[in-house]
A and B are shown apart, each in its own frame.
Chain A
């Protein structure tokens, strides 16, 4: 199975900050990485697919990058609604594994 790791596991940031979360795959996965946001008690919400494509309806302050084994999710100018958990997911090969998540908290 492909293992996904994320760093950091949590971070504290202020409104307006630029935040970057890193995701690393245990083997080559091309661009088959997606990013999800999840708020407490809610279902995940797709933000980025295929490493860098913005899902329809998602604010443009979210962006994704990377290929191969290393990927990033960046939030420019963090907004109050962005404080949540973020998960990467690989869909290169089954089982389609998720990273352990990064919790973004208010500083």
Chain B
């Protein structure tokens, strides 16, 4: 089955760190750019970061630049998001999403993992 499954979310204190994982299956993971998108409770979608196929090119939203690091392990078919210096406004469901080949759209999404930043 073609799918993405996120894990690693949870409750963390302000200033803390967390690493999210996104396990891919059913497709050639190494052929696709990958993204993280987040959604605060009751709010809209916000693009967070993207990574190219071999993990050498990263792009971040200004709101997370310098605090979050996106990476991937193509041998394990897994995407990561290392988050540090977490703030209350980072509280959200974090989705990983697959970049469709040639169309610059997100054609496959995971179910998401909830990150709550609170003391």
Contact = CB atoms under 8 A, between A and B. Distances in A.
B95 interface: yes
B111 interface: yes
B104 A87 contact: no
Contact of A91 (B45, B61, B104, B109): B104
B106 interface: yes
Interface string A13-36: 000000000000000000010101
A44 B45 contact: yes
Contacts of B109: 43-45
A59 interface: no
Contact of B47 (A32, A38, A49, A95): A95
A46 B50 contact: no
Tell me the dominant secondary structure on chain A's binding face: loop
Contacts of B35: 96
Interface in A36-79: 36, 38, 42-46, 49-50, 53, 55
Interface of B: 35, 37, 44-47, 50, 59, 61-62, 95, 100, 103-107, 109-112
A43 B103 contact: no
B104 A98 contact: no
Interface of A: 1, 32, 34, 36, 38, 42-46, 49-50, 53, 55, 87, 89, 91, 94-101
A50 B62 contact: no
Contact of A43 (B61, B95, B100): B95
19 contacts: A34-B106, A43-B109, A43-B110, A44-B37, A44-B95, A44-B109, A45-B109, A46-B100, A46-B106, A46-B107, A49-B104, A50-B103, A89-B45, A91-B104, A95-B62, A96-B35, A98-B47, A99-B44, A101-B45
A50 B105 contact: yes
Contact of A49 (B46, B59, B103, B110): B103
A53 B50 CA distance: 23
